[in-house]
Amino acid sequence: MKITLRTLDRYLLREWLRVFLITLIGFPILVIVIDLTDRLDTYMARGIKPGAVALSYIFDLPEKMFLVLPVAVLFATVFTVGSLGRHSELTAAKASGISFHRLVRPLFGAAGAAFIAGLLLGEIAPVATSRRLEMLGEKAIRSTSSRYNFVYRADRGWVYAIRALELRTREMTDLMLEREGTGAAYPTIVLAAQRAVYSDSGKIRPRWTMVRGTLRYLAGNEPGGETAFEFDSMQTRTMTERPVDLLAEPKAPDEMRYAELRRYIDALTRSGSNAKKLQVELALKIAIPFICLLIALFGAPLAISSPKSGAAWGVAASLATTFIVLLMFQLAKAVGAGGVLPPALAAWTPNILVGVAAVYLLRKAPT
């Protein structure tokens, strides 16, 4: 009996993996072909070489595969389990004492592997997307050597307000650095200076030197809550950015990894900006791969709800479920960004609904 079970498990995993890979690779390629057909003339008009266009679409694959991952799990589960019902393998397995839950257990393990793959794709896709945009000339690249009247949100809660930055002289004028605090133990710091000069020559660690300014520590309404110092020249370790870093354009959310996006959201929140939409995007980086586990739990009993309907039933059920799940994720983005639900709860609501439906179908499935 043990040998039979191992053979059956291998058979199920082989069939599941075949459909999974066909869907995971085939759907993105289909989307890429459609997009290439629509935009090829635009790329050629920009003078982009065909080889660069082809390479850019290879870089586009990780993002497309990340989005299609739950769909691939659903198709693989529905078609693998559905074929067992259509060809009487499911009936034979039950007759030999193998329950439905035990029969499809290897598929849940495969869905777990898809979840891990989704987390990895979620980290690879932003880097590949950024590279693709650069290759196609769709990412803004600064060619100027100066920047005026801008705000830069740095790490650790610091916000820089800068009137002018000159890359050639590596100087800034009329700048203000601020870190919001919470009280006497962690005061607000405001550093204002007329000029700042960047130096990286010699053996001294690269750093900015502030010229003619004021440093203030603010501890709220507590007694002695403000302390101020004037200085002619002061070196700071707070600003670790190089002049060229301050000229860089901020990345779009889909070009940021999980940790990068979380730091960016923290900076926006500290500066008083509304970051709910980005908080939903951050939560979706985990929620989308995790739904692969729930999709497997949902798809297995769904496939045997009408076992004699054939492949057409599997395609129809999979496409309908895919449409509903994608629609729920889009609604989650809107609901979370609008503040109707907390961003994390909005992002995970489709998972909760699919999980409830999966438990219901598993309870109703004949074992």
Cβ-contact 345, 279 below 8 angstroms: no
- Please give the pLDDT value at position 345: 93
pLDDT tens by residue, 208-266: 999 999 999 887 666 667 888 999 999 888 888 888 777 765 567 777 888 888 877 87
Nearest alpha-carbon partner for 351 in 322, 325, 330? 325
Is the pLDDT at 134 greater than 80? The verdict is no
What is the pLDDT, as a whole number, of residue 141? Answer: 47
> Which residue did the predictor score with more confidence, 250 or 49?
49
Q: Which residue has the higher pLDDT, 141 or 228?
A: 228
Confidence category of residue 268, pLDDT binned at 50, 70, 90: low
Helix (H) or strand (E) segment spanning residue 347: helix 343-364
Average pLDDT rounded to a whole number, residues 271-279: 76
Q: Residues 171, 198: contact at Cβ < 8 Å? A: yes
- Cα–Cα distance, 19 to 75 (Å, whole number): 7
Round to whole Å and give the CA distance between 347 and 138: 29
pLDDT tens sequence across 292-338 = 999 988 888 877 766 555 556 666 777 788 888 888 988 988 888 88
According to the model, what pLDDT value does residue 283 have? 92
- Crossing angle for the helix pair 258-270 and 105-135, to the nearest 10 degrees: 70
Confidence label for 53 from pLDDT (cuts 50, 70 and 90):
confident
